[in-house]
Amino acid sequence: MRFGKNIFYYRSYNVAIYVGLAAKGGGLLSEPILAVKGLKTTFYTDDGQVPAVDGVDFSVRAGEILGIVGESGCGKSVTSLSIMRLVSAPGKIVDGRIVFNGEDITHASEKRMRQIRGDEMAMIFQEPMTSLNPVLTIGQQLVEAIRIHRKTSKREAEAQAAEWLKLVGLPRPKDLLKSYPHQLSGGMRQRVMIAMAMVCGPKVLIADEPTTALDVTIQKQILNLMKKLNRETGTAIILITHDLGVVAEMCDRVIVMYAGKVVEEGPVKAIFKNPAHPYTKGLLASVPDLRNRKKRLYSIPGNVPKPGEITNGCPFHPRCEWAMDRCRGSLPEWAALGAGHRARCFLHDMKDGIAPGKGESHGGTAVNR
Amino acid sequence: MAEPLLTVEGLKKYYPIEGGVWRKTIGYVKAVDGVSFEVFKGETFGLVGESGCGKSTTGRALMRLIEPTEGRVVFAGQDITALDKRMLRKLRKDIQMIFQDPFASLNPRQTVGQIIEEPMIVHKIGTKAERKKRVRELLEVVGLSSAYADRYPHQFSGGQRQRIGIARALAVDPKLIIADEPISALDVSIQSQVLNLLQDLQEAFGLTFLFIAHDLSAVHHFADRVGVMYLGRLVEVAESDRLYASPKHPYTKALLASVPVPDPDYKSEGEVLQGDVPNPADPPSGCAFHPRCPFATDHCRRVRPELKTVEEEHRVACHLYA
Ligand SMILES: Nc1ncnc2c1ncn2[C@@H]1O[C@H](COP(=O)(O)OP(=O)(O)OP(=O)(O)O)[C@@H](O)[C@H]1O
Ligand SMILES: Nc1ncnc2c1ncn2[C@@H]1O[C@H](COP(=O)(O)OP(=O)(O)OP(=O)(O)O)[C@@H](O)[C@H]1O
Ligand code: SF4
Ligand SMILES: [Mg+2]
Ligand SMILES: [Mg+2]
C-alpha cells in the first residue's frame, strides 16, 4: 500500500494534522492523553437506579491502543459515551473525572464538547448506518466533517475527502463521494466511518465494537487499517470489543470490565499469559483456540449479572470458584502485580498469591494453600 | 464410517427477483446453488461461511421449511423431497431446529413449560401427565431448575433462553438437530456453557448435529467434519482437524488466516483477502471466488469448478487441485 506516501502528500494540503501530532506524540509518551478517574454513570429509570459504570479508572497514552473487553451490559459503551459526554437522560455522570489532554472535561460546556468531538476526539460505532445520514452523500458528509473544524474551501475539503477514502482502502473515491450510504456494503460503510472519524486528525479515537457486525475477512481488513492509522498518525485508539482474539491482535494494553467495574488492567501480554483475575482467567479458558483443539471448553458457571444486581463484595463472587467469605463482604482493592498489571481480587492479598492454571478444576486450592 | 443419516444432493434454492411494472421475474438470487454433503449418524457436521453465503437457507431448505428449487434430500432412508405434507409433518419430529435468537424464537406469552411441551402435543406424544413430567426432566437435562416451568421467557437471560430452546428441540427425541448459529447471540462466557451442553447431550443421546455458524473457532471446536460455503456453494469439505491444519481452497485459507487468535505472540500468516463478498443475484462467472482469489487464472474465470475428492475424506472445488 502506498500509505506513507499518501500521508506525505496529504501534508501538502497544509492541514497540520500529522506534523503537530507526531511531534507532540513523541514527547508525551508517558503522559496520558486521556485519563478517567473514578467514573460513575448511573441511569435513573422507572425500575430504579442502574449503576452502569461504577467506579472506572484508566488512562490512555498518545499512540497506544487500549482494549476494553467485557461481556454484554458490563458498561463498555456507557463508559465511552461518558467520555464523549454523550450520555443523555435518564443517564448521568454522578462521580469521577475525565481529563482530556490536560483539560477536565467532566463538566465542560456543550459548546466546548462540540469543538472537541469529531476534532480532537472521535468515535465510531458498531453499526455505521446509525451514524451516517441516509439522505446525504458520502462526499457531503465528509466535507461537512472537515469544514466544521477546519477553515478550508469546499474544493479543498472535497479533495481531502477523496484522499481519505483512498487512505482507508476504498476504490474509486471520486464515484464514492457521490453515493449514498445504503449503496455501500457494511465493510465499506465502516471504512467511511473511519475516514469520517479520522479527517480532523483526532488525538483519541474511540471505536465501539467497530467490526462486530462484519464478516471475518472484512474485519481483518478494517483492523489492519485501524492499526496502520494508529501507527502512522499517532492517534490513540480505545478499542471496545468482546472478542479476545481482536484484543490480542490489536491492543498494547487491556482493561477487563465486569458489571460496571474494571477488574483487571495490564499490558496485553500480561493479560493473556498471566491473567490474574478469576474472571479474566475463566474468560480466556472458555474461548476455543483454532490452533489447539481442546476436548472440552472451560465454562464460567452462572449468568452475566445486570448492573447493580450484586451489591455486596466482589461483583464476580457468585460465579467465582475461589470466592471466600471476605469476597462476599467487601469490594477488593487493586492488587499491584508489576509493570502496569493489576487486578481487583483478594487472592492476591494472600501470601502465596494466586497461581492455579486457567481452566483446571481447583475449587479453592488457592484458598487452602 | 457409519451410514449417512442425511444425504443432500444438488440442493438449490433460488429466490426470484421481481422488477418492472408487471413485476416480472427479472433474475434470481441463487441463495443455495447446488450443495451436496452427507451427515453421518452421531456426528456433528459444521457449515461455515460468511454472511449471506446460504447457510441458513441450506438448513431450512433441506427440511423443507422453505421449498427447495431443485435437489434431493434423503433422511434415514426416506426421500424428503418426495414426501407429501402429512408424511413431511411426521418426519419433522425427527429433525428439530435450534435458532440463533433465543428470544425471538420463544413465544413470550407461553410459559417455559408450555413452550417445551408444545412439540409433544403437535406430534401427539404421551398423556398430559407424562408430558408434564418430561418437561421437568428436560429442564434438568439442559441445566435449568424444573421449578422454572411456570415462568415466562422474559424472566431468563440469553443463555437460559437458549437452554429452553434446546429443551424444546429435545422434547420429541429427534434424530437430527439443525442448530443455526445457536451461540452467536450469547455472551462469551455463556457460549462455552451452551457448547458444552450440546456436547454432553450428543454423548448422552447419540444425537446428530448440523451445526451452522460463522464462528470458525467454535465450528472447529465442535464439529467432526466441516463444509465451507461461499456464495451458495460448498467450496471445501473435510474432517475438522484436517481442514484447519491443511486447508486447500484459497478461500478457506484466507478465512482461517482472518480469524483473530487470542494470543498476542501469534503473528497471523497468509494474505488478507481483498474486496467484498459478491452479490448473489449477480455471481461472478466461473469460480465465484475468482475476483478475490490471488491464484485466479483465465480458466477460473470461465469454468466453474466442481466439488471433487482430492484426498481421502477431503473435497475441494478449485481448479488448483484438478
Ligand atoms: N438508556 C439507558 N437506560 C437504562 N439503562 C441503560 C441505558 N443505557 C445503558 N443502560 C444499562 O447500562 C448497562 C451497561 O450498558 P452498556 O451499553 O455500556 O454495555 P456494553 O458493555 O456496551 O454491552 P454490549 O457488549 O452489549 O454492547 C447495561 O446493563 C444497560 O442495560
Ligand atoms: N426470502 C428471501 N428472499 C430473497 N432472498 C433471500 C431470502 N432469504 C435469503 N435470501 C438471500 O439468500 C442469500 C443467503 O441467505 P442466508 O440467510 O441463507 O445466508 P446465511 O449464510 O445464513 O447468512 P448469515 O450468516 O448472515 O445468517 C442471501 O443473499 C440472502 O439475501
Ligand atoms: S475477590 Fe474473591 S470472588 Fe472476587 S474474583 Fe477474587 S476470589 Fe473471586
Ligand atoms: Mg456496547
Ligand atoms: Mg444465517
Same domain, yes or no: A282 and A247: no
For residue A209, the CA-to-ligand 1 centroid distance in Å is 14
Closest CA–CA distance from residue B208 to any residue of chain A (Å): 18
Give the whole-angstrom CA distance, residue A69 versus residue B188. 11
User: Is the pLDDT at A95 greater than 90, yes or no?
Assistant: yes
Whether residue A269 lies inside any domain: the answer is no
Residues B70-86 pLDDT 10s: 999 999 999 999 999 99
| C-beta A73 within 6 A of ligand 1 | yes
DSSP annotation of B211 reads E
**pLDDT recorded at residue A352:** 53
B226: helix, coil or strand? strand
**A327 and A314 Cβ atoms separated by less than 8 Å:** yes
Contact state of A218 with B276 under an 8 Å Cβ cutoff? yes
Tell me the mean pLDDT in the region B108-125. Answer: 94
Pairing of β A253-258 and β A261-267 = antiparallel
Give the whole-angstrom CA distance, residue A187 versus residue A261. 32
Selected residue with higher pLDDT from B18 and A336: A336
ipTM greater than 0.95, yes or no? no
| C-beta A234 within 6 A of ligand 3 | no
| C-beta A335 within 6 A of ligand 3 | no
Selected residue with higher pLDDT from A264 and A291: A264
Mean pLDDT of chain A: 85
What CATH code is carried by the domain that includes residue A203? Answer: 3.40.50.300
Instruction: Give the type of residue at B116.
Output: I
Q: Which of B187, B211, B244, B293 to mutate to test the interface with A (most CBs of A within 10 A)?
A: B187
Same domain, yes or no: A281 and A195: no
User: Is the pLDDT at B35 greater than 80, yes or no?
Assistant: yes
Selected residue with higher pLDDT from B230 and A3: B230
Which spans in chain A are helix H? 3-11, 18-27, 76-83, 110-116, 128-131, 138-149, 154-167, 173-177, 186-198, 216-233, 244-250, 268-273, 278-285, 325-329, 365-368
| C-beta B40 within 6 A of ligand 2 | no
**pLDDT recorded at residue B156:** 87
| Residue A28 exposed, middle or buried by CB count within 10 Å (0-12, 13-18, 19+) | middle
A110, A117, A306 from A114: Cα distances, Å: 6, 5, 32
Same domain, yes or no: A120 and A247: yes
Whether residue A359 lies inside any domain: the answer is no
Query: How is domain B4-94+174-321 classified at the CATH fold level?
Result: Rossmann fold (3.40.50)
Give the whole-angstrom CA distance, residue A258 versus residue A70. 6
Handedness of CA A331, A339, A209, A25 (dihedral sign): positive
- Which residue, chain included where needed, has cell 457436521? B45
For residue A282, the CA-to-ligand 3 centroid distance in Å is 12
Residue A124, φ and ψ in degrees, nearest 5: -125, 150
User: Is the pLDDT at A25 greater than 80, yes or no?
Assistant: no
- Which residue, chain included where needed, has cell 492454571? A357
Residue B226, φ and ψ in degrees, nearest 5: -135, 140
Pairing of β A261-267 and β A342-343 = antiparallel
Nearest CB to B159: which of A224, A298, A303? A303
Q: Look up residue B113 and give its three cell numbers.
A: 413449560
For residue A53, the CA-to-ligand 1 centroid distance in Å is 9
**pLDDT recorded at residue B268:** 74
Instruction: Give the type of residue at B165.
Output: G
User: Is the pLDDT at A85 greater than 90, yes or no?
Assistant: yes
**B290 and B317 Cβ atoms separated by less than 8 Å:** no
User: Is the pLDDT at A22 greater than 80, yes or no?
Assistant: no
Q: Give the confidence band of B322 by pLDDT, cuts at 50, 70, 90.
A: confident
User: Is the pLDDT at B88 greater than 80, yes or no?
Assistant: yes
A268, A337, B265 from A340: Cα distances, Å: 10, 8, 19
Which range is least confidently modeled, A51-60, A266-275, B98-107?
B98-107
**pLDDT recorded at residue A169:** 81
Same domain, yes or no: A237 and A288: no
Chain A residues with beta carbon closer than 8 angstroms to that of B158: 72
**A267 and A283 Cβ atoms separated by less than 8 Å:** no
**A354 and A362 Cβ atoms separated by less than 8 Å:** no
For ligand 1, atom 29, the nearest C-alpha belongs to A73
- Angle at alpha carbon of residue B115, lines to B6 and B46, rounded to 5°: 30
Give the whole-angstrom CA distance, residue B256 versus residue A178. 35
Nearest ligand (C-alpha, residue A366): 3
Same domain, yes or no: A62 and A160: yes
Give the whole-angstrom CA distance, residue A31 versus residue A171. 38
Most confident of A15-24, A273-282, B144-153: A273-282
A324: helix, coil or strand? coil
Which range is least confidently modeled, A17-26, A249-258, B24-33, B135-144?
A17-26
Contact state of B260 with A293 under an 8 Å Cβ cutoff? no
| C-beta A18 within 6 A of ligand 3 | no
| C-beta B29 within 6 A of ligand 2 | yes
A342-343, strands of its sheet edge to edge:
A121-124, A204-208, A236-241, A65-69, A253-258, A261-267, A342-343, A335-336
Ligand 2 atom closest to the Cα of residue B50 is: 25
Residues B138-181 pLDDT 10s: 999 898 888 899 999 988 888 889 899 999 999 999 999 999 99
Same domain, yes or no: A240 and A297: no
Residue of A nearest to B263 (CA): A248
B188-205 and A278-285 helices, crossing angle to 10°: 50
For residue A296, the CA-to-ligand 3 centroid distance in Å is 24
Contact state of B260 with A246 under an 8 Å Cβ cutoff? yes
Same domain, yes or no: A74 and A184: yes
- B162 CB near a chain A CB, below 8 Å? no
Q: What count of CB pairs under 8 Å joins A to B?
A: 130
Same domain, yes or no: A300 and A166: no
Pocket test for ligand 2, best of B35, B50, B53 (most atoms within 8 A of CB): B53
Same domain, yes or no: A8 and A88: yes
| C-beta A346 within 6 A of ligand 3 | yes
| Residue A137 exposed, middle or buried by CB count within 10 Å (0-12, 13-18, 19+) | middle
Give the whole-angstrom CA distance, residue B235 versus residue B310. 12
**pLDDT recorded at residue A354:** 52
Give the whole-angstrom CA distance, residue B146 versus residue B251. 46
Give the whole-angstrom CA distance, residue A153 versus residue A139. 14
Whether residue A369 lies inside any domain: the answer is no
Ligand 2 atom closest to the Cα of residue B60 is: 18
- B187 CB near a chain A CB, below 8 Å? yes
Please list the helix, strand and coil fractions of chain B in percent, rounded to the nearest 5, in that order.
Answer: 35, 25, 40
A3-11 and A216-233 helices, crossing angle to 10°: 50
**pLDDT recorded at residue A10:** 37
| Percent of chain A topping pLDDT 70 | 86
Residues B1-17 pLDDT 10s: 568 999 999 999 999 98
Which spans in B73-226 are helix H? 85-92, 112-122, 128-141, 158-170, 188-205, 216-222
Range of the domain at A181: 2-251
Residues B167-177 pLDDT 10s: 999 999 999 99
Cβ partners under 8 Å of residue B73, min gap 6: B6, B7, B8, B9, B11, B62, B63, B64, B79, B80, B81
Q: Where are the beta strands (DSSP E) in chain B?
A: 4-19, 24-40, 44-48, 70-75, 78-79, 95-98, 176-180, 208-212, 225-230, 233-239, 308-311, 314-316
Whether residue A353 lies inside any domain: the answer is no
Does residue A90 have a cis bond before it (omega within 30 degrees)? yes
Number of compact structural domains in chain A: 2
User: Is the pLDDT at A34 greater than 90, yes or no?
Assistant: yes
Q: Look up residue A323 and give its three cell numbers.
A: 470466592
Contact state of A304 with B217 under an 8 Å Cβ cutoff? no
Q: Look up residue A189 and give its three cell numbers.
A: 460503510
- Residue of A337, A366, A329 lying closest to A350 (CA atoms): A366
User: Is the pLDDT at A109 greater than 50, yes or no?
Assistant: yes
Which range is least confidently modeled, A210-219, A350-359, B252-261?
A350-359
DSSP annotation of A202 reads -
Nearest ligand (C-alpha, residue A52): 1
User: Is the pLDDT at B34 greater than 70, yes or no?
Assistant: yes
Residues A304-345 pLDDT 10s: 888 888 889 999 999 999 999 999 999 999 999 988 999 999
Same domain, yes or no: A47 and A108: yes
Tell me the mean pLDDT in the region B244-260. Answer: 94
- B188 CB near a chain A CB, below 8 Å? yes
Same domain, yes or no: A46 and A182: yes
Give the whole-angstrom CA distance, residue A205 versus residue A237. 5
**pLDDT recorded at residue B270:** 67
Beta bridge partners, B8, equal B37, B73
Ligand 2 atom closest to the Cα of residue B212 is: 22
User: Is the pLDDT at A103 greater than 80, yes or no?
Assistant: yes
For residue B223, the CA-to-ligand 2 centroid distance in Å is 23
Contact state of A288 with B221 under an 8 Å Cβ cutoff? yes
Same domain, yes or no: A286 and A140: no
Ligand 3 atom closest to the Cα of residue A317 is: 3
**B189 and B155 Cβ atoms separated by less than 8 Å:** no
